[in-house]
Amino acid sequence: MIRTPEALIPYVLAIACVLAGYVWHLGDSVGGLGRTITLGRAEIGGPFHLIDQNGEKRSDRDFRGRYMLVYFGYTHCPDVCPLTLEEMADALDKLGAPKAARIVPVFVTVDPARDTPKVMKAYVASFGKGFVGLSGDAKSVEAAEHAYRVYARRHALPGGDYAMDHSSTMYLMGPDGKFVTTYEEVDGPDKIAENLRARL
């Protein structure tokens, strides 16, 4: 039986919906404004060369043997960044010291022009002594953003100031430096801690 093009439309739409659902759930996701863009696990993470809050050069290899819980943001962020970092701190507290010691919470700026190591040091200290704050020159920060598929864009504010639009996702990287999974702010510290505990 030969079907007319019009008769095939429902079948084409059904196939398109199935494919869209598959792509949406494939792999883990990378933060974007309002939602996430799925890229596949193998594409997230990679080498970086930045400066920590003490002015020391740091690379991804410095964290081998421990998990990294990585978040990209900036110190002038009015709400999402401090809330997410506080959530990271709460989740690690809920794990307890022995297990939490296996995880390094890492905050990477998307605003290197303002977030110098000195600024980062004062900022990350408010979330816990274990936090590492990473900054660097614009090119190095951009390379880290690219490796983690992070969206970040500057936009002007009235009066000559500016803010940074950026994705808001926490990345869990394994002791081998490879991507494990992501967490979102809506997950909450209890759920994040439970998931981390199961992996340690």
> Could you list the pLDDT tens digit for every one of the 200 residues in the chain?
445 555 545 444 444 443 433 333 333 333 333 333 444 544 899 999 999 999 999 999 999 999 999 999 999 999 999 999 999 999 999 999 999 999 999 999 999 999 999 999 999 999 998 999 999 999 999 999 999 999 999 999 999 999 999 999 999 999 999 999 999 999 999 999 999 999 99
Instruction: Name the residue type at position 188.
Output: G
Residue keyed to tokens 């421990």: 66
How far are the Cα atoms of 12, 80, 156 from residue 165, in angstroms, in the given order? 37, 11, 10
Task: Indicate whether this model's pTM tops 0.85.
Answer: no
From the list 192, 37, 13, 171, the residue with the least C-alpha distance to 105 is 171
Report domain 36-199's class: alpha beta
What residue ranges do the domains of the chain occupy? 36-199
- 105: left (phi > 0), else alpha (psi -120 to 50), else beta? beta
For 65-77, the pLDDT digits (tens) are 999 999 999 999 9
Question: How many other CB atoms are there within 10 angstroms of residue 124's CB atom?
Answer: 22
